[in-house]
Structure 1
Amino acid sequence: MRFMRLGEPGQEIPVAVDGDGRRLDLRPVTGDVDGAFLADGLGRAREAVEGGRLEPLAGAEGMRIGAPIARPMAVLCIGQNYAAHAAESNSPPPDVPILFFKHPNTVVGPYDDVAIPPGAETVDWEVELGVVIGRRARYLSSAEEASAHIAGYVTSNDVSEREYQSEHSGGQWSKGKCAETFNPVGPELVTADRVDPQDLRVWSRVNGEPRQDSTTADMIFTVAEIVRHLSHYVVLEPGDLINTGTPQGVALSKRFPYLRADDVMEIGIDGLGAAQRQRLVAARP
């Protein structure tokens, strides 16, 4: 199944997207695409769609597209999970998944503006496969068990400020990851039964020029292994978002300029809906 959230920030309406592309009002089933719905509502939503009990949302085509999940309790991120990206960062491939965090309020819609913090000079793009947790996960014993705790997948842009990440963080990365709007997500949440997470093309463009073009088959740690591993250090809750790393082709490589106001990012993952598009703007102090 495919889900979206439409409407102005804080007022998004949950919809299910059927096989004909119609955006069906999901409010008879749930008030939002949140952790509670992902934990026990997917079956009810499927029955409602297949039973023809949901009506198209009036005016849906003209509405803002929000992130397809309501604000998660946690946004967990895996660093340097593609060997070529680790190399362009002048780092060896990691032996275990590298974990850092983003603030949940970084999550915005896939076409919302991204705000450059005052004085920031090294803002970078990162297309990533986002994993959305569907069942509480703790101390999982296998990759197979981990896969059963995944609700679905999203396109995620782990926007970063590299100087904040490396020079201001005291050895941690999160200061470079947590600025407002620094995690556009969506446009769709696609349920796990419809996605092979290790066989997806991921790509990005800036101002229409190619930047990243890779595949999730090149991940060092698979999605299932990431979820299993993290469950031994943090209890994962329904609705939590995990960003699984980005491939080579970012500005940190020094092959491309960093982002400036009025630049446009486009990122996409095949099979997860339309491409994202964000304009860079100066943040208001």
Structure 2
Amino acid sequence: MSGALQVTPELLRGWRPRSLAEHGDKEARGRVLVLAAGAQVAGATLLTAVAALRAGAGKLQIGAPRSLSLGLAMAIPEARVIPAAETVGGELAPLAAAELADAFARCEAAVIGPGMLDVDAAGELVLRLLQTEGPALVVDAAAMQGVAQDPRRARRHAGEMVLTPHAGEMAALAGVEKADVAADPLGVARRTAARLQAVVVLKGPATLIVSPDGKAWRHPGGGVGLATSGSGDVLAGIIAGLIARGAAPVQAAVWGVSAHAEAGVRLSRRIGRVGYLARELLDEVAPALHQLEAGG
């Protein structure tokens, strides 16, 4: 099988997301549900959720640990925040799957995992949600281990799931050493995408996007400044927002990686090569998407 296609402006121009009607309403841009961090990294929820809106999603819902729900509702007034069961450590509990089932079934894209630290709770939560028919999923951080534990259930959502690991998480997903990922990142990503029937976004200085059928794209990256706390949460939100707007998961992954990188480039010009913050990426997402959609 051939190597990965380089993501270029020409490639993106020929593969634009669905155009939005000038007079369309928010329903036409879809609904995103964010199920993300608990007490220790609550900001990850904000980064993910706002990124989804910046990418163009029309409506936003957040499933939040009960003790955080009011604070998140005040911090993100654009969102409907649904209080749900939490663990002793303040993260979403597996029981929250039942409380969030209606919101999960009624959205176009769901993001699960950004900022989650409890691998057992996050993994069980995602497995319970995967028991039912639902939206396209973007799965990040601790929640990815639940997918890896039950490939059969993951394959029920063939082609409708995007996994966003860095190299260490990729190693855990694939059941190999991190050195094996470094030695053959494309091969490991392809095998994992095929086994789980998911789109794999292997994050790094250059990011690989691999579809379940083995097609692959390589984005050269947006600079070292993107390697900062919360940057991956923003990426997950962008991808979900694009899916809600009507992009196929693999298309949303390629465009999401590109917009995230372009946002980093824009900040590096304005602030510096390193030192900008993930929260500052949020204001660059819409301009970056507009620039890419315009072909430049």
Shorter-chain TM-score range: under 0.3
More strand by share: 1
More helix by share: 2
Query: Structure 1-normalised TM-score?
Result: 0.27
Query: Structure 2-normalised TM-score?
Result: 0.27
